[in-house]
Amino acid sequence: MKQIKLFDTTLRDGAQTEGISFTVEDKLKIAKLLDRLGLHYIEGGWPGSNPKDIEFFRRAKELKLRNAKMVAFGSTRRAKVKPEDDANLKAIIGSGAPTVAIFGKTWDFHVTDALKITLDENLELVEDSIRFLKKSGKEVIFDAEHFFDGYKSNPKYAVKVLKAAEKGGADILCLCDTNGGTLPSEIGKIIDEISKKVRKPLGIHAHNDSNTAVASSIIAVERGAVHVQGTVNGYGERCGNADLCSVIPILKLKLGIDCVSDEQLRSIAEISRHVAEIANLPQNAHQPFVGRSAFTHKGGIHVSAIMKHPGTYEHIKPASVGNEQRVTVSELSGISNLVYKAKTYGVDLKKETPQVKQLLERLKELELEGYQFEEGEASFELLVKKALGTYKPKFTLESFDIVTAKEGSEATKVKAKLKVKVKEGIVETEAFGDGPINALDGALRKAIESTFPEIKEVKLTDYKVRVLDSQEGTAAKVRVIVESTDAVKTWGTVGVSTNVIEASWFALLDSIEYKLMMEG
Ligand SMILES: [Zn+2]
């Protein structure tokens, strides 16, 4: 079976992403995750360029990686300096990393216009920089910068550079689509041509400027490359690098290349989320394989089909990449979604159940009003169970009254008065709070806590208000999402109204009722 080595550059190229700034601590955490995922190489940074990367390499030695080799990145020596006197090469060796990725120019115009040296001088410095690193006992990956653009403009020279690297003793010749402008078909064709001209194994480093970095990496492998560079979540400069969270599942599940173990592959969705968390960027819900919506079904026909056979609308088993199938309830959804959802709530709803049609109608009305249950699934569950008669409200609201008062520069005071009807009769309470929702919550708890002590366990952990578009001069509506927890379970509830307090009340009420429902 074909052997492919996976090379991660999240900590070097990925760190160039706008909005990302990794601390040394962050980088060490990510390196551990990458090792768990089974990557073969982790490029830790450029020790010649900044002290933070030197610090990283020093501390990375304590990581005790099980799978990955640490890689130091750097450039070929400067012109007119001997390799052993070159500060950058010395820093690479000083990093202690067993493997080195060294980049050199392969595009003639970059040599003459950016480096401002002759084409022959560039060949020399590629060759002797690599020879020097090899003599120091390093495994050397040569990153042929701008290789595809260089090859298209001057194929003879680009190949000469690869041959110089080969002569110097490079272990891998990694062809870089640095500007990300080469299409996969061209990448495939060029790799075919290059394989006939050099002997050393080829690698691919693709950028995503044409949104084809993953495709380019895959075609490179199909045409013989044995080393793939990329980043977690496709992080990287401009439009990013090839996303390893797609590359790895494709190699393993579609091309049958055993680059990581089954167990490692199952950790990829979690690692993708975890790295996003460390990077402090939201994970793209629609990211293939690992995103939250990657196996989410919304259309009714789709849901009806996946219930019969998941393969009808899923290209792989979500569990193989540690992801899961989800079905959302929305206005697009039909009876099948409803039946499926109800099942996850332990309600055996049959398509023929008489209440199903009514429930679906009600759901459509609510969605028209602005309800959305993706984040308020507990409200949806209550709705279903109330409609089926399997849950009956244990108290009802008679009235509430809220007074907000401010005097001079003092903090605003809010008092909520509440009347609810429980089995024993009407209960009246009042409570103060720092805001109306807080005061209402306090008053409600006072009213029913003695009858239902379990609500003491409920804490509201998040409260979100979203203003919905107003139509034709009507007042704007708000949708409130409340997240609650009882330390065992977390649930979301939703309320919609033109009045933010009323919307909040609906969400709050559902939250408390949901707890009572769970307790039976
Ligand atoms: Zn790059």
Question: Per-residue pLDDT tens for 320-333?
Answer: 999 988 877 654 55
Q: Could you give the CA distance from residue 226 to residue 201 in angstroms, rounded to a whole number? A: 7
Tens digits of residue pLDDT in 389-399: 889 999 999 99
Separation of 230 CA from ligand 1 center, angstroms? 8
Give tens-digit pLDDT for 283-324.
888 999 999 889 988 777 777 788 788 888 889 999 999 998
Q: State how far the Cα of 198 lies from the Cα of 163, in Å rounded to an integer.
A: 7
* Distance from Cα 5 to the centre of ligand 1, integer Å: 17
Distances (CA, A) of 338 to 367, 374, 506, 513: 14, 13, 22, 21
What is the whole-number distance in angstroms between the Cα of residue 12 and the centre of ligand 1? 9
Top pLDDT among 519 and 148 is at: 148
d(CA 175, CA 141) in angstroms, rounded, equals 10
Compute the distance from residue 80 Cα to the ligand 1 centre, in Å: 26
- Dist. CA 176 → ligand 1 center (Å): 7
Distance 172 CA to ligand 1 centre (A): 16
Q: How far apart are CA 392 and CA 517, in angstroms?
A: 9
Rounded to the nearest angstrom, the distance between the alpha carbon of 241 and the centre of ligand 1 is 7
Measured CA to CA in angstroms, residue 38 lies from 28, 201, 216, 245, 430 at distances of 16, 21, 22, 12, 59
Rounded CA separation 24/180 (Å): 29
Q: In the numeric block, which tokens belong to residue 97?
A: 């990393």
Distance 382 CA to ligand 1 centre (A): 51
Q: How far is the CA of 242 from the centre of ligand 1 (A)?
A: 9
Q: How far is the CA of 67 from the centre of ligand 1 (A)?
A: 23
Closest CA to 422 of 440, 402, 449: 449
Ligand 1 center to 99 CA (angstroms): 17
Task: Show the tokens assigned to 352.
Answer: 């023929």
Minimum mean pLDDT among 118-127, 418-427, 467-476: which range? Answer: 467-476
Q: Compute the distance from residue 142 Cα to the ligand 1 centre, in Å.
A: 13
pLDDT, average across residues 465-492: 80
The pLDDT tens digits for 25-42 are 999 999 999 999 999 999
- 511 CA distance to ligand 1 centroid (A)? 49
| pTM exceeds cut of 0.75 | no
CA of 15 to the centre of ligand 1 (A): 11
Q: What DSSP assignment string belongs to 426-481? A: EEEEEEEESSHHHHHHHHHHHHHTTT-GGGGG-EEEEEEEEEPPP-TTPPPPEEEE
Residue 143 Cα to ligand 1 middle (Å): 9
**205 Cα to the center of ligand 1, angstroms:** 7
Q: Tell how far the Cα of 178 is from the centroid of ligand 1, in angstroms.
A: 6
Looking at residue 473, what is its pLDDT? 57
Ligand 1: distance of its center to the CA of 367 in Å? Answer: 46
32 — phi, psi (to 5°)?
A: -65, -40
- Give me the mean pLDDT over the 362-371 stretch: 84
Asked which of 43-52, 210-219, 370-379 is least confident by mean pLDDT, the reply is 370-379
Look at residue 330 in the predicted model and tell me its pLDDT: 56
Residue 221 CA to residue 260 CA, distance in Å, equals 15
Separation of alpha carbons 222 and 125, rounded Å: 32
Q: How far is the CA of 13 from the centre of ligand 1 (A)?
A: 6
Phi, psi of 462 (to 5 degrees): -150, 150
| Cα(207) to centroid(ligand 1), Å | 6
- Taking the centre of ligand 1 as the mean of its atom positions, its distance from the CA of residue 160, in whole angstroms, is 22
Distance from Cα 68 to the centre of ligand 1, integer Å: 20
Å from CA of 24 to ligand 1 middle: 21
- CA 105 to ligand 1 center in whole angstroms: 13
Q: Which DSSP category does 11 fall into?
A: T
Tell whether the model's pLDDT for residue 460 goes beyond 70: yes
